Amino acid sequence: MRRFRKVLYVHEENSPIALETLKLALKIAGTNAGQVDLVTVLELPAVTFASNISLLLQSRWVRESEDQLRQLAETASPQGGLNTKVIEGRTHIQVVREVLRHGYDLVIKPVGASGFLDRLFGRLDMRLLRNCPCPVWLSKGETYGAFDKVLAAVDADIETSLEDHAGDPPAKDALNRQILELAFSLCADNKARLHVGHAWYPPFLSPFSRARANVPQAEIDTYVTTVKRIHTSWLRKLMNAAAGWVGEDIAESVNVKTHLLQGEPEVEIPRLISSVQADLVIMGTIARAGVSGLVMGNTAETILDQITCSVLAVKPADFVSSVTLDE
């Protein structure tokens, strides 16, 4: 089962938010006998020409950033043991390169301040979500780290043709497995409640579709019932498989509730997050296979725009970042 043992904390500025998120990273890694490294990336402004004063200011900026990062590390971990690094370049590119070079299995950073802005992810957050090959934990909300309710959002890979899945629909999707393994692990380690949510909607019955015109309501009802039965069976099989993936001890130690929601995911998942008062949402951020050129799915982006709690974003194991180690 997947656990986070090598964590990269991305620092932007000193604040109580930064300190609480770093403490969360230490707690997550400490549970798994892992390590946490800290990095700050400085995006130096372009200059027409280098002068003595510009070079002096640049060196002071780097030195001050190094001092801030060390002070943060010492405050969060007085016993020491945390590595710090200041890098120059574009932030998301340098963070992804650190992941590629050193094999981190989690990137974590705080997001914004409280209030309206807490609802929004910044440009760096979205670039990390799109490009980072390992899971990305964006910490926000009232607690900035502490959580006792986790929502794992899973998505069925079921075709629109009912005949293709008249029997048993596929239940072991790789991305869902990653999501559930992480969710069970985190909930077991932190004694948190786990909610598993899956939103479904009958194909061809969009409110804007005319496909239902002149079709008797009884036939539409039968169609909807059939689609619901397929998704109900899929979710049950997925949860049964998850119990095997995580092991009997962990599966029995976690308090789990499943939610099967009829409606569009971008509407129902944010509603569920609010309803269960989730502190952390674990979800996939990659569009379905076959959507050319699309790195992060529209549904994922729409959901992210609506939520105010922390997010742990997961990508498929075969994801290849557009960022490489080549300069």
Q: Please say which residue of 97, 123, 145 terminates a domain.
A: 145
User: In this predicted model, which residue has the larger pLDDT, 215 or 322?
Assistant: 322
**Domain check: are 93 and 214 in the same one?**
no
Res 47: pLDDT: 61
Distance CA 155, CA 199 (A): 8
- Tokens 């990508």 identify what position? 315
Write out pLDDT tens, residues 184-231: 999 998 899 999 999 998 877 765 566 566 778 888 888 889 989 999
289 domain-assigned: no
Give the range of the structural domain holding residue 211, as residue numbers without chain letter.
148-278
Write out pLDDT tens, residues 254-271: 999 999 999 988 999 999
**Domain check: are 19 and 46 in the same one?**
yes
Distance CA 189, CA 3 (A): 10
309 domain-assigned: no
pLDDT over threshold 60, residue 251? yes
User: In this predicted model, which residue has the larger pLDDT, 118 or 106?
Assistant: 106
pLDDT over threshold 90, residue 120? no
Q: What percent of the chain has pLDDT over 70?
A: 81
Which has the minimum average pLDDT: 135-139, 180-184, 322-326? 322-326
312 domain-assigned: no
What pLDDT band is residue 327 in, cutting at 50, 70 and 90?
low
**Domain check: are 86 and 217 in the same one?**
no
Res 290: pLDDT: 40
**Domain check: are 22 and 139 in the same one?**
yes
Integer CA distances (angstroms), 152 to 66, 114, 178, 201, 280, in order:
37, 24, 10, 19, 9
Report the Cα–Cα distance between both ends of the chain, in Å, rounded: 35
Write out pLDDT tens, residues 77-110: 998 889 999 999 999 999 999 999 999 999 999 9
* Interval 275-283 mean pLDDT: 94
Pairing between β-strand 149-153 and β-strand 280-284 as defined by DSSP bridges: parallel
Res 1: pLDDT: 58
User: In this predicted model, which residue has the larger pLDDT, 247 or 122?
Assistant: 247
Q: What is the CATH number of the domain that holds 62?
A: 3.40.50.620
304 domain-assigned: no
Res 166: pLDDT: 47
Which has the minimum average pLDDT: 10-24, 154-168, 232-246? 154-168
- pTM equals 0.86
Beta strands in the chain (DSSP E): 6-11, 35-42, 83-88, 106-110, 136-139, 149-153, 193-200, 256-262, 280-284, 310-314
Q: Please say which residue of 236, 259, 278 terminates a domain.
A: 278
**Domain check: are 70 and 105 in the same one?**
yes
